[in-house]
Structures are given as C-alpha cells and as structure tokens.
Amino acid sequence: MYGPNRSFRRQAAASGHGKRMSWDFRSVFTPNAPVGELGLLIGREQQLRAVRDAVDSRGAHPTVIGWRGVGKTSLVHHACKGRLHARINCSQDSTFDSLMKAALNSTGLSVLTDQEIGRTWSLDEAESGRCVRLKGARLNMRLFYEIVASLDVPLTIVLDEYDRLPRGDDPKGLIGDLVKALSDHADEHQCTLVFVGIARSVSMLLGAHDSIHRQVEEIWLPPLTDTHLGNFLSEAERLTEIAFDAPVRDELIQASRGLPYVTHLLGKESALVATERSDFRGRVTEQDLEQAKRRAIRKVYGNHLARFSKELGALSEKEKHVIRCLVSVHHAIREPLTSATKVNADQRGLTAEEFTEATHTLVRKKLLYLGEKGSADVRFADPLLGPLLRMRFGAFRTAKTKAPNDRQMDLFAALRLDATPQPTEALYEDADAGVGGVVDLGAEDATSSSQRAGRVFVSYSHKDRRWLEQLRIHLKPLERDNLVDMWDDTRIRAGNDWRAEIAGAIRGARVAVLLITADFLASEFVTTDELPRLLLAAERGGMVILPVIVGASHFEHFPALARFQTANSPANPLNGMRIPERERVFVEIGRQILAAVSEDV
C-alpha cells in the first residue's frame, strides 16, 4: 500500500508546509522490488506495449532481455498485471519439475504424488479439482502441457532470472520443448511463457534450442536516457514532496549510468539520510547524497568487491587507463573507438591505436563489450562496475558535456579497491586503509595514502555516530586531495585485534579529534584506554589534540582535557547551533587539522 510520508508530514506540519498528503519515499524508490505504480515506469512505454501484445497473442512468448538494473522485472510486473500469472525466480538448482510445480501451485493447484496426498490431503480434497495427482515422482513436459490445456482461463508464467539456469536438457532443454509444443498447438490452450534475464540476445538467454527462436519475441531493454531518469525524479519529487537539490539530481542521473535500479537505490538512501536529520525541511542535499553513497555500497556491492578488485588488479597500465576513461564519461563511449580516443591520447600520452588495442584486450577478458544492438558503444560487461566506481569515488562531477579535467583524472588515477569484502559497517568507509590486498589503478607508487597524508584519529562515542559522519563529510575533500587520512574504528576489519588496531592508529596519527559529549565522557573504554594513549602521544610525540564540543557535558571537570583549546566554546555545543553556524565550525575544524598536518613533525 502506498501511504503518506509520515516523517515528512510531521516536520511539514511543524513548519507550516505540506497541505496535501505525500507518499512515503520508500513506496516511490523501490530498488528491491518492482516499481509499484505504473506512472513511475517512465521511459518504457514502447517495451510495455510489446510485452502486453505478445502475451495477448497466442503462440508468442515474449523474452525480455537487458543488463542488470535496467528494470526488466518491473516491466514484466506491469505487463502481466490484471492477468492470472505466476512469477517464478530461477536458480542454478532449478529443474523443470520444480519450476512448473511452483507455477501451478501459485494458481491454486497442487501437484502431488500419491504418497504426498496421503500425508497432506484427504482423498476427497485430492478429488476436488484443486490437486493434480502424479503417477511418477516428477512432473514431465507432457503432463504439464495436459494440465495447462485443461485450464479454462489464460495463464501467464514468468520465468525471471532465466540466465541463472544451468545449460543442459533439464531444465532448459525441456522448457524449449515445452515452448515448441505450446506454439505448435496454440489453439488448444491459453498458456504463455515469459522469459526474463540478463543477456544480449535470445540465443544467449535460451541456449542453442534453434527450433524455439521463431516462437519467442525478443524485447530488448536499453539503459534509460538522462531525460527519462530526470522525469522519474521529477515525478518522485511531486509525489513525496521531497526535493533534490540541483547538484544532487545531476549526480543521481550521472551515477546511475542509465540504470533505474541505481537511481532507485540512491534516491531511497539519500531521502532516508535526509529525513533522519533533525533539521530536515524537505530537501536532499549533497551531503545527504554522499552519505547515501556509502550506505548503498555497504548494502549492495559488498559481495562484488573482491571480484572487481581481482579483475582490476591484473590489468596493465594501458588497460587501467581505458577503465578510468569509462568512469569519466557518461553512460558509455558513444563514438567509434578511433574517434573517442583522440581526446584521451592527448590527456595521458596514449595513442588512439594503443587505446583501441587495450579496449579490445579488455573485451577478450570479458570486462568490457563493444556494441549494443549494432551501435559502437563501449561498456562495462558487468553494469554494476561503473556505478560502483562512480559512487565510491565521485571524482567526475563536471557536466556531462565537458571532458574530465586533469585534476579529475588524477583523482581516479589514485583509485584503490580492497580485495577482501568486509562484513562490518566499516566496508568502504575509506578505501585507503593501508592494509594488504589493495588494487591500485594507476597510482604512481605503492605508498599508501595513510603514509602520504596526515593521519587524523577520531575518538567518539558510538552513540554519537551522526557527528562522526558530519565530520567525515567535511574532511572528505581534504582526503580526496590526499592531504589528510581520517581514521576511526569503523575501519577495523572483522576478526582483527581491535585494541591493537586502535593503538597502531594512534601511533601513526598527527592529530586527534575528540567529539565531546556526555556519552563520550561516560564511556569506560574512552576514558581509561583510548584517552590516556592520546594524551601520552600528545606529551611525547607532539600529537595535536582538538576537542570538539558536540553536546553539553562536564568537560571542564576533566583537567587533562580542558587544558586543550577547543574548536568551539563549551558553552555553545554543536547540537545547539543553527545549521549555518555549525557548518562554519566544521570548516574551521578542517582548517585547523590541515594546518596541523602541514607542519613538519
């Protein structure tokens, strides 16, 4: 059910806004479920008509193909809405028997053996017409055909994620035989199969069953255009009454690279971050989006990081350059390679011929592919890789009509990926952890950023995580320029000795930022373990201690701390400031940190 955004309504009522009911943004941005409202399925009108026409045509079986994240499931969901249909998710363990039993079960029929009937059904129930009795242990193609032919209503069976099925006689061979039988005898039944999967062609998805290619109708879903994604965001803003600042809209569109899944993912996460703020007034800011990117990477891409890192780490410098260029452009290189590489040749000293050769090598390695239904595009073979790199590093923020400048290319040249997925919340909070197993895409040397930049140790109470994130946002530009290296305990990997990790981080730090609250001073670990180490480092090693007064506390009763100059007055904590004043304090904190790490130690 779509409902009003209660969080927004409460705040809107308090501020005098929001005269009409707004939708919950979780009902509009649905990365983990099909698009719920047809009006939000923007840019797919032609494909929607094609699927509906095929479903309504006897003997035709639509096959919806495209890359991951383009919205195949949402399209089929709305095309089959209002019809009796069964949607079955395929897997590597699926068989013809399991898939077709699941399809029939979803219609209210149960397909059972005599032994199963004895355990779960009475004989009267078994003969009521709601149960199909199997003579053998498995449902075969002939019996399934007889069952669907006996139905007096049209039945549409959607086989989603069909690309996950193993090749072979079971199940793909048997399903191919079923398609042929259904098409050859279309006047005897009202059953339609709909295939959905990741592929570039019908033959790639369905296999080498040539006899059924004439019975299926290919419906290709290309990535959406910027205009379509922009129209979706506009409709989402209208429905939720949550507005995205112009730079946020631009970055949402560009980071999505034509994949509506990424738009939904980042839209939901950024709206969630924004509405969690106490000062939320109906707008999503750039800071909200940056925090949302980190959340999205942790939630979605964790299982892919090790594979991406392994593949990227084995590349030559020329091949890494091609990857950098693909991340820097919008969607794909949409010109023939010889034309697209002329600009790049001047930027990095790579000739067009070298660029083209490296690109074809990446195609052979199955990292890239050339062409999309006859075009000359160059794209990542795995569509997740482009959005992942863009979301994590966010280096390319110029308008899409501009070529990336030298500074932006240098930022991406220092790109690093951890080779081991991290199950903790520390996943990708900072890619420059300085721990083994990193992949360097173009860095000039192997020195970690923590060695090249000034280490900043942050001590805080876990109850004050919100303020840690605010500090991280303000230090991020300095981190990208490799001027500081912010460290906090979210960078500790699962299974590591956390006390040793903290001690090592303190030894390597030039500045310690203390986020002072009552919870901070009440923490047993902070006051008896972490704080004494920091004070000792300040006394012996010249560490700069920078207390930041986040909330009211008995700070003045800790003389060991009170002797250090605070970033703001204890009488004026951050949580009592207006937003502009608070932002100015964070900027000043960044300046003080930069000044401290710039001094010779």
Q: Model confidence over 70-81: pLDDT tens digits?
A: 999 999 999 998
Among 512, 410, 422, 520, residue whose Cα is nearest residue 471: 512
pLDDT level of residue 193 (50, 70, 90 thresholds): very high
Among 331, 593, 343, residue whose Cα is nearest residue 479: 593
Residues 216-234 have a mean pLDDT of: 92
Among 555, 556, 550, 547, residue whose Cα is nearest residue 593: 547
Do domains 44-221 and 453-598 share one topology? The answer is yes
Residues 93-116 have a mean pLDDT of: 79
Angle ∠(444,455,411) on CA atoms, nearest 5: 35
pLDDT digits (tens, 9 = 90+) for 133-147: 676 678 888 888 888
Name the least confident of 275-289, 326-340, 514-528. 326-340
Cross-strand bridge partners of residue 513: 458, 546
Residues 324-348 have a mean pLDDT of: 49
Residue-level length of the chain: 601
- Spell out the CATH class of 44-221: alpha beta
pLDDT digits (tens, 9 = 90+) for 506-565: 888 889 999 999 999 998 888 888 888 898 888 776 789 999 999 999 888 888 888 888
Indicate if the pLDDT at residue 231 is higher than 90.
yes
Task: Please give the structure tokens belonging to residue 473.
Answer: 């946002």
Question: Between the CA atoms of 118, 123, 128 and 131, what dihedral angle is there, to the nearest 10 degrees?
Answer: 20
Are the beta carbons of 547 and 567 closer than 8 angstroms?
A: yes
pLDDT digits (tens, 9 = 90+) for 196-211: 998 878 888 887 555 6
Check the CA dihedral 50-52-55-59 and report its sign.
negative
Integer CA distances (angstroms), 503 to 120, 135, 519, 545, 555, in order: 62, 69, 22, 16, 24
Q: How far apart are CA 457 and CA 37, in angstroms?
A: 47
Strand ranges across the sheet with 544-549: 484-487, 454-459, 511-516, 544-549
Task: Please give the structure tokens belonging to residue 160.
Answer: 């989603």
Distance of CA 91 to the CA centre of its chain: 22
Residue boundaries of the structural domains of the chain? 6-33+225-284, 44-221, 303-416, 453-598
Q: How far apart are CA 31 and CA 12, in angstroms?
A: 26
Q: How far apart are CA 176 and CA 182, in angstroms?
A: 10
Q: How far apart are CA 444 and CA 157, in angstroms?
A: 55
Task: Please give the structure tokens belonging to residue 138.
Answer: 């498995």
Q: What percent of the chain has pLDDT over 90?
A: 25
CB count within 10 Å of CB 473 equals 17
Determine the topology of domain 303-416 in CATH: Arc Repressor Mutant, subunit A (1.10.10)
pLDDT level of residue 403 (50, 70, 90 thresholds): very low
User: One-letter amino acid identity for 501?
Assistant: E
Pick 453-598's CATH classification: 3.40.50.80, 3.40.50.10140, 3.30.930.10, 2.40.50.140.
3.40.50.10140
pLDDT level of residue 410 (50, 70, 90 thresholds): very low
Average pLDDT, the chain: 76
Tell me the pTM.
Answer: 0.58
DSSP H helix total and E strand total for the chain: 28, 17
Question: Between the CA atoms of 555, 557, 561 and 567, what dihedral angle is there, to the nearest 10 degrees?
Answer: 30
